[in-house]
Structures are given as structure tokens and as C-alpha cells.
């Protein structure tokens, strides 16, 4: 049994304590700000999931692992199909995409990122889903327990440093989201 959760607890806690996370959990997030969040989440999930799918078997037994299509649907529901180019992609998002491309052949590192992002969606995401505007497809899973078990079966303690790095990217992402001021008070 992996001790990854305990090994990454400090980095995880740091990410959760960001001001933007408090806004997500408040139930009062502006729909346009949430849409900007989704627009920035999409390329991060898309590149991670596509790179992971390049490795036969890495995502096998993981129902609903793909979040990118649901994120895009949620974004389109809130923003509309037109003028999506108005939403700025944050510098940390571009950096994360480049980083994932640099590790695309390393299944252990990719799995560490799957663990951080997707287990977060399965846990905290369930609480966030009740607080955000729109249908929240991003956080809907047909079989969350099977997905959790499948992810747990593919992680081990050697992934701690990479998982911490993923949490660090998430922390930076939340900080940069706080700079997206144009939608905070609409």
C-alpha cells in the first residue's frame, strides 16, 4: 500500500490553502471567473490525458478518467462557443503543458500527475461541484470508487517528488488565477 498521500501532505495542504480555492468552495464564484478557470484547466488535463493514453494499459481499468472533454463542455456552457479566445491562458498553464510534454515517455511521472489531479477531482471536486455554476460535468464520475482503486493500484511512494511538483504547479495556478481580476466582481 502506497504512503503517497502522507508523503505529499504538505504540498497538498499548501495548494488547498490558496485564496482561489476558497473562492471555489464559497459558492459565490462569478460564472465568468469559473469559466476562465475551466478554460485554463482544459489544456492541462488534455495534454496529461493524451500523453498517458499513448502508453497502452496505463489508464486501463479507469472508467471516466478523461476529464478534459467534460471540462470543455462546462466551459462552453458558461462562456458560450463564441469569443473563447478572450480568455487568457495563464503563463503557468503554458509552462505545465511544456513540462508534461517533456515527461511524456515516463509513465511513473505521468501517473503521479494523474494521481494528484484526478484523485483531487474524486475527493475535493465532489464538494466543489455543489458550489460552482453550471452542470459541473468536470466532477461527475460514473464509478468513482472503481476509479479511485484503479489509480491507487498504479501509484507508489517513489512518485512523491513528482506528485509534489504537480501540487506546486497547482499552487502556482491558483495564485495566477487570483490575478484574473476582470471577472472577480461582475
Residue 107's Cβ-count burial label (10 Å; 0-12, 13-18, 19+) is middle
Grade residue 81 by pLDDT with cuts at 50, 70 and 90: confident
What ranges make up the beta strands (E) of 30-179?
none
Is residue 173 within 8 A of residue 96, CB to CB? The reply is yes
Q: What is the pLDDT of residues 101-133, one digit of tens each?
A: 999 999 999 999 999 999 999 998 888 999 999
Task: Give me the half-sphere count of Cα atoms (radius 13 Å) on the Cβ side of residue 183.
Answer: 20
Angle at the Cα of 60 from the Cα atoms of 165 and 107, rounded to 5 degrees: 35
Residue 137's Cβ-count burial label (10 Å; 0-12, 13-18, 19+) is middle
Is residue 43 within 8 A of residue 143, CB to CB? The reply is no
Residue 82, φ and ψ in degrees, nearest 5: -90, 150
89 has pLDDT over 60 = yes
Q: Which domains occur in the chain, in start order?
A: 19-179 (1.20.910.10)
Amino acid at each position: 500500500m502506497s504512503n503517497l498521500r502522507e508523503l505529499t501532505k504538505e504540498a497538498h495542504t499548501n495548494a488547498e490553502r490558496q485564496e482561489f480555492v476558497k473562492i471555489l468552495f464559497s459558492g459565490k464564484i462569478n460564472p465568468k471567473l469559473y469559466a476562465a478557470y475551466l478554460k485554463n484547466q482544459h489544456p492541462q488535463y488534455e495534454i496529461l490525458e493524451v500523453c498517458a493514453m499513448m502508453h497502452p494499459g496505463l489508464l486501463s481499468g479507469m472508467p471516466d478518467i478523461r476529464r478534459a472533454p467534460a471540462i470543455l463542455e462546462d466551459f462552453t456552457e458558461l462562456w458560450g462557443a463564441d469569443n473563447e479566445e478572450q480568455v487568457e491562458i495563464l503563463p503557468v498553464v503554458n509552462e505545465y503543458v511544456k513540462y508534461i510534454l517533456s515527461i511524456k515517455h515516463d509513465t511513473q511521472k505521468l501517473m503521479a500527475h494523474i494521481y494528484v489531479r484526478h484523485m483531487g477531482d474524486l475527493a475535493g471536486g465532489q464538494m466543489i461541484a455543489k458550489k460552482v455554476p453550471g452542470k459541473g460535468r468536470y466532477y461527475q464520475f460514473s464509478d468513482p470508487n472503481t476509479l479511485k482503486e484503479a489509480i491507487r493500484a498504479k501509484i507508489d511512494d517513489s512518485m512523491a517528488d513528482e506528485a509534489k511538483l504537480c501540487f506546486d504547479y497547482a499552487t502556482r495556478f491558483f495564485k495566477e488565477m487570483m490575478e484574473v481580476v476582470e471577472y472577480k466582481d461582475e
